[in-house]
Each structure stands twice: as C-alpha cells, then as structure tokens.
Amino acid sequence: MSLRFHTNEKINIQWWVLIIGVVLMLVKFSAYFITHSNAILSDALESFVNIFAGAFGLYSLYLSAKPRDEDHPYGHGKIEFVSSILEGTLISIAGIIIIYKAVYALIHPQIIHQINYGIILILISGIVNYLMGVTAIKKGKKYHSLALEASGTHLKSDAYSTVGIIMGLGLFIITDQVWLDNATAIIMGLIIIISGVLVIRKSLAGIMDEADFKLNEEIIKYVDEHRIPKWIDIHNFRIIKYGGVIHIDCHLTMPWYLSLEDAHQGMKKIEKCLANSIDNPVESFIHVDPCIHTSCAICMIQNCPHRKHPFEKRVTWILENVIKNQKHQQKNPK
C-alpha cells in the first residue's frame, strides 16, 4: 500500500478520536454537573486532555506526511514521537489534577446528587472510549504510528478508569460514604499518571532509535522465508522509524564473482522483499559484501565454479545472527 493511503487512514482515525473526544467530554461534564461527583469530574478532566492531545496528534500526522526536503532528508515522521511525549505529559498532569481535587474534596466534602444518571452517562462514554482505543491501537501497530498508539492507549486508560469510577460509585450507593467517591478518584488519578509515564517512555525510546525487536523479527522472518541462493547472508541489520516510514540498513553477502549488474539486481530483489515484509512504506540502504571462502559451507548456490568447501547447512536468519556486524559462516568448514 502507498504512503498516501497509510497517511489518509491514520488521519481519518485521528479525526474520529478528536470528534468522539469532544462529544464524550460534553457527556462527562454533564454527568458531573448533575452529580457533583469528583470521581466523574476526574473522568471529565481526562477527556479534556484527550481533546487537546488528539488535536496535536492530528497536527503531527499531517506534519509527518509532508515530503522530505533539504532540511529533513529523512522526512518529518519524528514529530509523532514529540506528539506522543506531549500526550503522555498531559495525561500525567491530568492525573495530578485529579488527585489534588480529590484530596481537597476529602477535606471539604460535597453532596453527591442523582448518581444513577451519572453512572449511566459515563458507562456509555467508557464503552465508546474502549472501542475507539482498541481501533486506534490496532491501526497504530499496523502502520507503526506511535501517535495513533498513544491516542489509543489514552482512550483505553480512560475506559479502564471509567470502570473503576463506576465501581467506586457503586460502593458509595451501597454504603452512602462520600469519601469512597474521592478515594476512587485518587486511585484513578494514580493509574492515569502511570499510563502517561508509559506513553512518555515509549516515545523517548522512539526518539532515541531504540531497537524494536518485534518488528526486526517480523521482517527478518519474512526475508528468510523468501530468500534466494545468491543471498548468502544478511548482517548488521538495523531499523529506524520515521513516523510511518521504516528505514532499514543492512549488509548483504553475495558471490564475489558476480558482475556489478548482477550484484545490483540481487540487491534490488532483496529491497523488494523488505518492502513486501510489512504494510508500511520501507526505504532500505543495502551494502553488498563479497563472499569469502568460509562462506562456502553455508552457501546454497548449486554447481558454484569457485566453491572452496562443500555445502554443510542452511543458516536460518534470526534476530541474533542478523543484527551482528559479521558474515555468517561455519567456524571450521571442511
């Protein structure tokens, strides 16, 4: 699929996240004004954060879709990490505000009204948030979009906090103890802060180009299953994410006696294989190495006129031997 298709789908999903966020915020604040429940207020405040973060997430997706230029030779995809950091920070701030408001209410308690109506309203919003969050995370993982994953994580954490709030309000109905409402809000505030910190952690990992071993394994497995004999090995395999675009660097070992044209064709084939390994657009930079005599033991080319040692075994390409910066070979070929 094209980069434009991926971008349009991601932007459309983020638009829905933003629109639904506005509607749910109005629903939750309505529930708060009806009930004066601090637990419900905590849910409403997080929805406000959802809107602000969703708007910036939408902007980041538009910006990441801009074509590369002289100032940004790898494109603008890194803005998604910045967006996720902002969202994680806002999530954490919302949690702190929720805890502060709940502690204040423990000291100066308020009377709670019409709690049944409030529970119904936030239950509906919680279900919608969860479904939207699952969708955003699924698409974010599919297109390796951290902005979408952050939005989905935020929405799911909102849904989980809604469940906790409903449980707390249920206890309040049973016991008529107002402090349970505020205690529930404090617990939800802590959960929200943890969720925000986790989003920030993942975003920083992306900015620092931390290795995504799961993605590495997925691509390496695909290439191993579609390899041809001329690809004797690949090594020094690295992946860098720039928004929805995946950049792959690796070394490819091929027979030393190939012409420059043949080597180029072999390289183009593995570039196509890498591009087909995942749904995201892939840009690869491949360095071609000539084989050495110790490579003969794992080389699957039949009737090679320059073979120095008999073929012994096919080396399966896995994460452990592909990310190393050394050719695959038998240590003591016969």
Question: Where residue 289 sits, what CATH number does that domain have?
Answer: 3.30.70.1350
Residue 229: its pLDDT value, please? 92
pLDDT at 331: 52
Question: Are residues 168 and 250 both part of a single domain?
Answer: no
CB 313 within 8 A of CB 297: yes
Beta strands 245-254; 282-290: pairing state: parallel
Distances (CA, A) of 119 to 31, 61, 223, 287, 288: 8, 35, 52, 61, 63
Task: Specify whether 130 is located in the same domain as 195.
Answer: yes
Give the number of domains in the chain.
2
**Residues 130 and 268 both lie in one domain:** no
Domain closes at, from 157, 172, 207: 207
Using a 10 angstrom Cβ sphere, with 0-12 exposed, 13-18 middle and 19 or more buried, the burial of residue 224 is middle
Alpha helices in 72-177 (DSSP H): 79-107, 115-142, 146-175
pLDDT at 220: 94
- Spatial distance between the Cα atoms of 159 and 52, rounded to a whole number of angstroms: 18
Nearest to 137 by CA among 118, 157, 119: 157
Task: Verify that 30 and 120 share a domain, yes or no.
Answer: yes
Same domain, 200 and 147: yes
164 lies in the same domain as 282: no
329 within a domain of the structure (yes/no): no
Residues in the chain with pLDDT values less than 70: 1-7, 39, 73, 110-111, 243-244, 329-334
Last residue of some domain: 207, 235, 266? 207
Q: Kindly state whether residues 119 and 201 are assigned to the same domain.
A: yes
Q: Quick one: tokens of 144?
A: 């390796």
Question: Given this model, what pLDDT does residue 333 score?
Answer: 45
Hey, which bits of the chain come out as E strands? 233-242, 245-254, 282-290
* In a shared domain, residues 132 and 235: no
Do 226 and 125 share a structural domain? no
Phi, psi of 70 (to 5 degrees): -65, -35
Q: Are 169 and 102 contained in the same domain?
A: yes
What per-residue confidence (pLDDT) applies to 204?
83
The pTM of the full predicted model, rounded to 2 decimals, is 0.62
- At which of 185, 207, 229 does a domain end? 207
140/117 Cα distance (integer angstroms): 34
Q: Of 36, 307, 40, 67, nearest to 162 (Cα)?
A: 40
**Separation of alpha carbons 155 and 272, rounded Å:** 37
Considering the domain architecture, whether residues 184 and 236 belong to the same structural domain is answered as no
The range of the structural domain enclosing residue 50 comes to: 3-207
pLDDT attached to residue 73: 66
CA 183/CA 165 separation, integer angstroms: 10
Within a domain: 328: no
